[in-house]
Homo-oligomer: A and B are copies of this chain.
Amino acid sequence: MFKKDLKIAVIGGGSSYTPELIEGFIKRYNELPVKDLYLVDIEEGKEKLEIVGGLAKRMVGKAGVGINIHLTLDRREAIKDADFVVTQFRVGGIDARIRDEKIPLKYDVIGQETTGPGGFAKAQRTIPVILDVCKDIEELAPNAWLINFTNPSGVITETVLKHTNVKAIGLCNVPIGMVYGVAEMLEVDPKRVYIDFAGLNHLVWGTHIYLDGEDITEKLIDSFAGGKSLSMKNVPQLPWDPDFIKSLGMYPCPYHRYYYLTDQMLEKQKEEAATVGTRGEVVKKLEQELFELYKDPNLNIKPPQLEKRGGAYYSDAACSLICSIYNDKKDIHVVNVRNNGTIADLPDDVVIETNAIIDRNGAHPINIGHVPAKIRGLMQAVKAYEELTIEAGVKGDYYTALQALTIHPLVPSAMIAKKILDDIIEQNRDYLPQYK
């Protein structure tokens, strides 16, 4: 990989997040010589692609780096001979997400983009598309690395690793957000903070936290109770109960609130849905505003308003990962990879979220072993749900889908699982070719 002129394809290039990515590549241009950056989207996203593509070109121009931005609806052209393929597409767009949020709420169940039935629906829509993308990669760029950001990121990465030959690493900005959260709490440089992560995407625990190598987990516990610092824009910031946090003895991720504070989160969701709208509805407006901003021909940097969108550190996570692979850095990133015994309590072939050494040959997880019972059961329960979700999504099997939803910890019964499933299939019929 001494080649100088990297080609990168971004599937879902018309996303409002793209300026994050562009900024990341610009910052790293010296060590990561991207020559051709293809932003790909589908017909329906053409307008957005052109807007965000325009901004990308202006950003690159202003920075004076030699990155050529290509805008295209031809995915195969973009993938051909790419060195990296970044996936950040959303099948069905923001409207599908809003439906994902609203269906479960009808049944008093958490309605969320990635967690619970909403994430299940998103997975079912996404699986056929990601498998198609992977077919293209297998044919046109068999040595490319797939960096997957498309949610539910762990589930989609596991689908790719189980059902294709594509080399894939899944990413999420939650772990890096947690590191920054601790740094903010302590008012120190994030580089001085290190966290042992263990779990699944959007269900990851910081099992130990270190400042300059000293284990400060216990000292920090009380600070988590306030929860002030855990600034995920996508998850309402209900405070953690001090006794609960002490008994957990770890740093839960923001999404854990859906599991540990289910009733309060549900109340919050229902209240928001009735007033400002679901998170999807809020984001829809934010995105429209962002695209208005992006259109401004004088804008040639990432606008600060993008941070409200929820993608903080996205560029750090993605570009820095690509950079470590390209430069064989052997530094540590938090990624979604094949378990392969890293967490002894989960099957070998599932995907986990964990600290890993990154080099030219991919992600090499740091061994974890057995995890404590207090986090083990929930992690295993959600993983079983994810495995069934993938199987259902690949086969389009109604019964497997019904089991997947029934055993999800946030779904209270088989009856409600069935009603939600039927609603999901009904409302997503254009996106679920496998359920025919």
> Which residues of B lie under 8 Å from residue A194 when comparing CB positions?
330, 359
Q: Quick check: B341 and A370 within 8 Å, CB to CB?
A: yes
Q: Quick check: B247 and A400 within 8 Å, CB to CB?
A: yes
Q: Identify 22 residue pairs between A and B in the complex whose beta-carbon atoms are under 8 Å apart, listed by A's number.
A: A2-B212, A212-B360, A213-B361, A243-B402, A244-B402, A244-B418, A247-B403, A248-B403, A260-B406, A261-B413, A332-B357, A341-B341, A342-B367, A348-B369, A366-B366, A367-B368, A373-B387, A374-B400, A377-B407, A380-B384, A381-B381, A409-B409
> Which residues of B lie under 8 Å from residue A370 when comparing CB positions?
341, 347-348
**Cβ of A288 < 8 Å from any Cβ of B?**
no
Report the separation of the CA atoms of residues A383 and B369 in the bound assembly, to the nearest whole angstrom: 18
Q: Quick check: B374 and A384 within 8 Å, CB to CB?
A: yes
**Cβ of A241 < 8 Å from any Cβ of B?**
yes
**Cβ of A364 < 8 Å from any Cβ of B?**
yes
Band of interface residues on A: 35 or more
- In the assembled complex, the CB of A124 is this many whole angstroms from the nearest CB of chain B, namely 16
**Cβ of A416 < 8 Å from any Cβ of B?**
yes
Report the separation of the CA atoms of residues A263 and B109 in the bound assembly, to the nearest whole angstrom: 12
**CB-CB contacts below 8 Å: A168-194 with B:** 194
Other than the given A373-B387, A377-B385, 17 more pairs (CB < 8 A) read A194-B359, A214-B360, A244-B402, A247-B399, A248-B403, A249-B399, A341-B342, A342-B367, A347-B370, A348-B369, A364-B366, A366-B367, A367-B367, A374-B407, A377-B383, A378-B384, A378-B407
Q: Per-residue 0/1 for A307-350: is the Cβ within 8 Å of any B Cβ (1 yes, 0 no)?
A: 00000000000000000000010111000000011101101100
Report the separation of the CA atoms of residues A248 and B341 in the bound assembly, to the nearest whole angstrom: 24
**Cβ of A414 < 8 Å from any Cβ of B?**
yes
**CB-CB contacts below 8 Å: A368-394 with B:** 368-370, 373-374, 376-378, 380-385, 387-388, 391
| Smallest Cβ-Cβ distance to A357: which chain B residue | B366
- In the assembled complex, the CB of A410 is this many whole angstroms from the nearest CB of chain B, namely 9
- What's the number of copies of this chain in the assembled complex? 4
**Cβ of A264 < 8 Å from any Cβ of B?**
yes
> Which residues of B lie under 8 Å from residue A382 when comparing CB positions?
377
> Which residues of B lie under 8 Å from residue A376 when comparing CB positions?
380, 384
**Cβ of A75 < 8 Å from any Cβ of B?**
no
> Which residues of B lie under 8 Å from residue A368 when comparing CB positions?
341, 367
> Which residues of B lie under 8 Å from residue A418 when comparing CB positions?
241, 243-244
**Cβ of A365 < 8 Å from any Cβ of B?**
yes
> Which residues of B lie under 8 Å from residue A400 when comparing CB positions?
247, 374
**Cβ of A29 < 8 Å from any Cβ of B?**
no
**Cβ of A5 < 8 Å from any Cβ of B?**
no
**Cβ of A57 < 8 Å from any Cβ of B?**
no
> Which residues of B lie under 8 Å from residue A264 when comparing CB positions?
413, 415
**Cβ of A412 < 8 Å from any Cβ of B?**
yes
Most buried by B among A241, A370, A383, A384: A384
Q: Quick check: A367 and B380 within 8 Å, CB to CB?
A: no
Which listed residue (B262, B341, B359, B384) contacts A367, Cβ 8 A?
Answer: B341
**CB-CB contacts below 8 Å: A78-109 with B:** none
Report the separation of the CA atoms of residues A249 and B212 in the bound assembly, to the nearest whole angstrom: 41
**Cβ of A215 < 8 Å from any Cβ of B?**
yes
- In the assembled complex, the CB of A226 is this many whole angstroms from the nearest CB of chain B, namely 15
| A-B complex: 9 closest residue pairs judged by Cβ atoms | A377-B384, A213-B360, A213-B328, A247-B399, A380-B380, A377-B381, A381-B381, A244-B414, A340-B369
Q: Quick check: B406 and A244 within 8 Å, CB to CB?
A: yes
- In the assembled complex, the CB of A328 is this many whole angstroms from the nearest CB of chain B, namely 3
Q: Per-residue 0/1 for A234-254: is the Cβ within 8 Å of any B Cβ (1 yes, 0 no)?
A: 000000010110111100000
Report the separation of the CA atoms of residues A2 and B328 in the bound assembly, to the nearest whole angstrom: 30
- In the assembled complex, the CB of A250 is this many whole angstroms from the nearest CB of chain B, namely 11
> Which residues of B lie under 8 Å from residue A341 when comparing CB positions?
341-342, 344, 367-370
**Cβ of A1 < 8 Å from any Cβ of B?**
yes
Q: Per-residue 0/1 for A46-73: is the Cβ within 8 Å of any B Cβ (1 yes, 0 no)?
A: 0000000000000000000000000000
Q: Quick check: B213 and A359 within 8 Å, CB to CB?
A: yes
